[in-house]
């Protein structure tokens, strides 16, 4: 019976990992490369510069699309915040056990899928900016593509270093099947404190991805502005966290120097 339950927990965690991985790939395409693709030839279909701002902002279709998109981002923020709220978190930990983190990642990926599939582009208004002057109309989209590629590579690398199996809920299930305690209990107090203040250490890279684009449409402004605000408000690093980070960097640097000398 215990082995059957362990197998079910592992299957649920692995299926969730696959779903989160697919959603992450879709999100990269949605938030980054699709926006650049519209500008890769130097022309964009995202904006209508011939439409005055007064007419665009007064159009019911534009306003409805903006409100709809804002609601989708609010849904994501609500899911992320409610499940991270201490009382709800305690209930989830009690009822779900080792699948608590898996459930959090699954619901996050599900809400992102809803956001991406239900997003309403605003094409009946001017862009806030659009690079269309030669030769930058061709070169700047390529520069943005390169920058986004580097940022996504950094994000993936940081997540791998930042205990990716624990973030995705795989390690919790693995430890449960082995009869071990929660993997967070093995981490130092400084690491636990840092994780509570900076659960997703990819703020700068995401900000660059959200804002550095050849053209910024109104719906992209809603997405970038809302997610940027949520990212900045969700992190609460202090001097103790920075001291812990500096100590860890110093320790790793000394360890590498000693290994090279050997």
Q: 231-259: per-residue pLDDT in tens? A: 877 665 545 555 555 665 566 566 666 66
Please report the pLDDT score of residue 186 as a whole number.
61
Please report the pLDDT score of residue 221 as a whole number.
92
70 part of a folded domain: yes
- Model pLDDT for residues 51-79, shown as the tens digit of each residue: 787 887 888 888 999 999 999 999 999 99
92 part of a folded domain: yes
pLDDT higher at 170 or 184: 170
197 part of a folded domain: no
50 part of a folded domain: yes
The boundaries of the domain holding residue 174 are: 2-188+202-238
Q: In total, how many domains does the chain have?
A: 1
CB 128 within 8 A of CB 218: yes
253 part of a folded domain: no
Residue 131 neighbours by CB under 8 Å, 6+ apart: 39, 137, 140, 141, 214, 215
């Amino acid at each position: 019976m215990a082995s059957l339950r362990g197998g079910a927990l592992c299957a649920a965690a692995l299926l969730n990992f696959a779903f989160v991985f697919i959603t992450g790939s879709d999100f990269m395409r949605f938030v980054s490369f699709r926006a650049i693709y519209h500008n890769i030839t130097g022309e964009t279909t995202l904006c209508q510069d011939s439409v005055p701002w007064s007419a665009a902002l007064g159009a019911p279709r534009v306003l409805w699309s903006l409100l709809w998109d804002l609601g989708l981002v609010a849904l994501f923020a609500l899911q992320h915040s409610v499940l991270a709220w201490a009382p709800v978190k305690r209930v989830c930990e009690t009822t779900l056990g080792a699948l608590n983190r898996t459930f959090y990642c699954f619901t996050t990926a599900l809400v992102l899928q809803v956001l991406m599939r239900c997003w309403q582009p605003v094409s009946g208004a001017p862009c806030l900016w659009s690079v269309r002057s030669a030769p930058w109309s061709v070169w700047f989209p390529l520069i943005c593509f390169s920058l986004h590629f580097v940022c996504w590579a950094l994000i993936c690398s940081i997540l791998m270093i930042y205990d990716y199996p624990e973030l995705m809920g795989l390690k919790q299930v693995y430890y449960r099947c082995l009869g071990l305690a929660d993997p967070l209990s093995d981490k130092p107090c400084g690491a636990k404190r840092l994780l509570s203040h900076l659960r997703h250490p990819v703020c700068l890279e995401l900000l660059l991805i959200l804002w550095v684009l050849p053209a910024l449409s109104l719906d992209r402004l809603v997405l970038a502005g809302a997610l940027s605000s949520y990212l900045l408000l969700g992190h609460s690093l202090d001097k103790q966290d920075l001291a812990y980070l500096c100590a860890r960097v110093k320790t790793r640097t000394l360890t590498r120097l000693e290994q090279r000398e050997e």
